[in-house]
Structure 1
């Protein structure tokens, strides 16, 4: 039997449940699919993941499953997670030390970009420039991630980046905290929306020169505490309107 949650695990549960609720609010979710996780052990191998086929808008902190990436019997449990959640997130938490929190989604604009021959987010404003040379692209989609080899391949696609745009698939963001992973996802989807809307005009893009795009990207890194503040403000809204997420 698993031990009772430690204080830090309790907070991780609350924060991951908040991410799930916020994803539903933003219309990033896809029916009862997609999955989020958060490492609770120092080596990352014990992690929380959302329960199988439960709508993001209803998940509470206590609903999250605690699993072990090195335990192959996980999928034999009566409460086993979604098979693709296990394949992708177990691989991420085994392979990537930066994957303390991992959010995998198929949000509308990023998924639209993922379906293009050239899915790159080009620096045409401050938000798109945030990801200049800071986003991995995985263009080797191998089908629905039911096989462990697909999870391992996805983990390798990150390199040293904290997010990957997955061609013909979706997106995954990583963070040292839920706040970081959420804020990255939020701004990535906004960047994708800007690019898609700009493409829709049919006019040429005003792409920044590399040096300006790099300077703009570095500007986002001056005070990363803004990302924590963003997440805390969003949780305050949930605390007022959906306080049961903390249960």
Structure 2
């Protein structure tokens, strides 16, 4: 987790104390990033073990991320999800600030690696409201844009959630570049169907 935090910071997907991660440890436990720590300097010993009620399970631990409720809501609702990455990738977050999702019919990698991307209405960071806003979009989505806030990706492993965040941001940058040049040309419906089927097969 510490390596993932440092890599997210190095790639400009988070800045300063932004962003947070969680990894499922068991049916009712998770490991989450600490609050108030520079992600570029975070250490494995800084991670905080919590139960699904939000209670810290290890004495002497740091305070858990302020977005703990967001992570726990996702982990409770999606038992298939083993890890969650929340970041503020600039291009993808730009779509969220503009009130737009990222088109799902332009890039094979976005369809195959990330899947459909939902735009979640604004909820105040660190509140139950944000968790409430996210839950209706969890089924069928492994990537979410949080309006005026950032992005969330989920996976069967931390590597998968991390890769989805990187791919989401890379795709957003390509689409923005394409719009600078001209009108992005969508993939055919047949190609999209084939990619979706392949993704579902590999799920």
Report if aligned partners of 1:199, 1:205 keep a CA contact under 8 Å in 2. yes
Write the deviation string for residues 89-129 of structure 1: whole angstroms up to 9, x where unpaired.
12222222122100001111110111224323243333234
> Radius of gyration: which is bigger?
1
Specify which structure has the higher proportion of helix. Answer: 1
Cα distance between partner residues in 1 of 2:171 and 2:110: 5
Cα distance between partner residues in 1 of 2:120 and 2:33: 27
Report the aligned-residue RMSD. Answer: 2.5
Q: 2:107 aligns with which of 118, 125, 136?
A: 125
Matched with 1:216 is: 195
Cα distance between partner residues in 2 of 1:35 and 1:192: 21
Q: 1:63 aligns with which of 39, 46, 61?
A: 46
Within 5 A, what are the aligned runs for 1:1-247?
16-41=1-26, 43=27, 45-71=28-54, 79-83=62-66, 85-130=67-112, 134-146=115-127, 148-201=128-181, 203-219=182-198
Q: Secondary structure at 2:192's aligned position in 1?
A: helix
TM (normalized to structure 2)?
0.86
- Deviating above 6 A after TM superposition, structure 1's stretches of 4 or more consecutive aligned residues are 221-224
Residues 25 and 71 of structure 1: is their aligned pair in 2 closer, same or farther, counting only changes over 3 Å? closer
Deviates more, 1:188-197 or 1:122-131: 122-131
1:143 CA displacement: 2.6
TM (normalized to structure 1)?
0.72
Q: Secondary structure at 1:141's aligned position in 2?
A: coil
What 5-or-longer segments of structure 2 have no aligned partner?
none
User: For this pair of structures, how many residues does the alignment match?
Assistant: 201
Report if aligned partners of 1:164, 1:171 keep a CA contact under 8 Å in 2. yes
1:221 CA displacement: 6.7
1:186 CA displacement: 1.5
Q: Secondary structure at 2:139's aligned position in 1?
A: coil
Specify which structure has the higher proportion of strand. Answer: 2
Write the deviation string for residues 144-197 of structure 1: whole angstroms up to 9, x where unpaired.
232x23213313322132221223221111111111111111111111111111
Write the deviation string for residues 3-44 of structure 1: whole angstroms up to 9, x where unpaired.
xxxxxxxxxxxxx22211110111101320211010101x1x
What 5-or-longer segments of structure 1 have no aligned partner?
1-15, 225-247
